[in-house]
Amino acid sequence: MASASESRHGMWSSGWLFILAAAGSAVGLGNIWKFPYIAGENGGGAFVLVYLGCVALVGIPILAGEVLLGRAGRASPINAMRKHVIAASGSPLWVLIGWSGALAGFLILSYYAVIAGWALYYGVKLGEGALVGASIEVANQTFNDFLADPWQLILWQTVFLGGTVWIVARGVIKGLETAIRWFMPLLFLLLVVLLAYAFNSGGFMAGAEFLLSPNWEAMSVDGLLVAMGQAFFTLSLGMGAMMAYGAYVPANASIGNTVITVALLDTVVAIAAGLAIFPIVFANGLEPGQGPGLMFVTIPFAFGQMPFGAVFGVVFFVLVTFAAITSAISLTEPALAYLVEQYNADRSRVAISLGVFCWLLGLGTVFSFNIWSDVHVVAGLSVFEFIDYLTQNVMLPLGGLLIALFVGYVLPKQLAREQLGIDGGIVARLWPLLIGFVAPVGVAVVFVYTIYQSL
Ligand code: PHE
């Protein structure tokens, strides 16, 4: 058995590596693909402001809560919650946080791998010189033809999931940490290059204005729920990924500094991705609210117009894939670590089995875009839209709400203070207010409001 100061799965080599790992989990398709398109659908600036409020007031406290639960438990989220519940003599029902998280990670990965596969496909396609000098209609048509072919989608989904399983199977240090060390710095570099291109595209001001100046009329109540859901999704909250990663954090790392750095990095990448994409949208008279296809039509089109576009295009989509992989590995960790602990199982076998189940479930998403495009699970939602809605707007916020309540009211206050390294001063006084009141009330209000609206 590992001692309480170490996890049996391994430990991050340093506090800095944990920041990179957590940022790797946070920065992913949520920032580069989802954020721009949902900001586009919800009218831009006002949505961004609401989203920033959710990150600051709700996201950061819950992120700190998850990491401290993980580090104090030194086990998978399910087993960490078991330990905390026993130590605090709380209800065993709190362990449901761990179970729902492991399930949510699995559900998210099922579609995440499909979308990440699209990025892989585009990397290859642009490398072949496709779309060089093509019109926007051709870029649109290319995307639609691709979605219509389930075999293509399955091929790329399989490649992405295979890569994820391969990394995850190699373990925390050899697999996760190595991938993170390489992929994260490269990703930041590329975003800067893309921003520079957007800046010169002629539409930068229109794009920046759309994203940064609030137009409250375009913001709906639904947008509020989407903003809250996005804050959870983009920070990888509410499903135990950060709790699982927290279990591998060295005892001397500062949780407070880490979570603020991670939230900042994540936000900067999301805004940068928006600032790279919307200028291109406006410079070419495209529609900002076009939905999930936004990144896969505008970016390839833009690269088709620029010198050496094929090269940059390949690099961009390869890096989107890297960003997605560093998130995907964290989606598997709660379930994986639990199965390894519970059955003393071999990590690679568990990784492969989880990968196979995820692949099967992912077929539901694949078919949502072609042969099942008329199949609606509930309320007109396709399989993909249903899983996306259920996880992002229901499971993650609910998980986060329970985590906040648990840390705020069940976990011994002294334990939280020790983990956060706060003994007195303003942070020590603010912390109980944030985790016990502002964060849970924020999530709860958004929920009740949405339910009230839909009655
Ligand atoms: N945060 C990741 C992204 O933005 C997605 C994710 C969600 C990863 C939940 C882990 C857990 O793409």
pLDDT tens for 236-261 read 999 999 999 999 999 888 899 999 99
pLDDT at 350 over 70: yes
> Using alpha carbons only, what angle is made at residue 359 by residues 367 and 112, rounded to the nearest 5 degrees?
75
* Shortest-distance atom of ligand 1 to CA 233: 7
Ligand 1 centroid to 267 CA: how many Å? 13
Q: What is the DSSP letter of 293?
A: G
Which residue type, as a one-letter code, is found at position 125?
K
Residue 308 exposed, middle or buried by CB count within 10 Å (0-12, 13-18, 19+):
exposed
28 in contact with ligand 1, CB cutoff 6 A: yes
Give the pLDDT confidence of 35-67 residue by residue, as tens digits: 988 888 888 888 999 999 999 999 999 999 999
Ligand 1 centroid to 30 CA: how many Å? 6
Residues ≥6 apart with Cβ < 8 Å to 431: 61, 416, 417, 420, 422
Ligand 1 centroid to 16 CA: how many Å? 20
Highest mean pLDDT among 157-166, 186-195, 309-318: 157-166
pTM: 0.91
Would you state the pLDDT for residue 73?
Answer: 94
* Ligand 1 pocket mutation pick from 31, 234, 243, 295 by most atoms within 8 angstroms of CB: 234
How far is CA 313 from each of CA 128, 132, 331, rounded to the nearest angstrom? 10, 10, 27
> Using alpha carbons only, what angle is made at residue 25 by residues 199 and 314, rounded to the nearest 5 degrees?
45
Give the pLDDT confidence of 311-333 residue by residue, as tens digits: 878 878 987 998 999 999 999 99
Give the pLDDT confidence of 225-241 residue by residue, as tens digits: 889 889 989 999 999 99
Would you state the pLDDT for residue 2?
Answer: 41
pLDDT at 4 over 80: no
> Using alpha carbons only, what angle is made at residue 186 by residues 183 and 48, rounded to the nearest 5 degrees?
95
d(CA 79, CA 444): 26
332 in contact with ligand 1, CB cutoff 6 A: no
Percent above pLDDT 70 for the chain: 98
Give the pLDDT confidence of 106-136 residue by residue, as tens digits: 999 999 999 999 999 999 999 998 888 888 8
Would you state the pLDDT for residue 423?
Answer: 77
d(CA 282, CA 279): 5
Question: For 209, what's the count of Cα atoms within 13 Å in the CB-facing half-sphere?
Answer: 6
Domain ranges within the chain, ordered by starting residue: 15-454
Ligand 1 centroid to 172 CA: how many Å? 18
Q: Count other Cβ atoms within 10 Å, centred on residue 137.
A: 9
CATH of domain 15-454: 1.20.1740
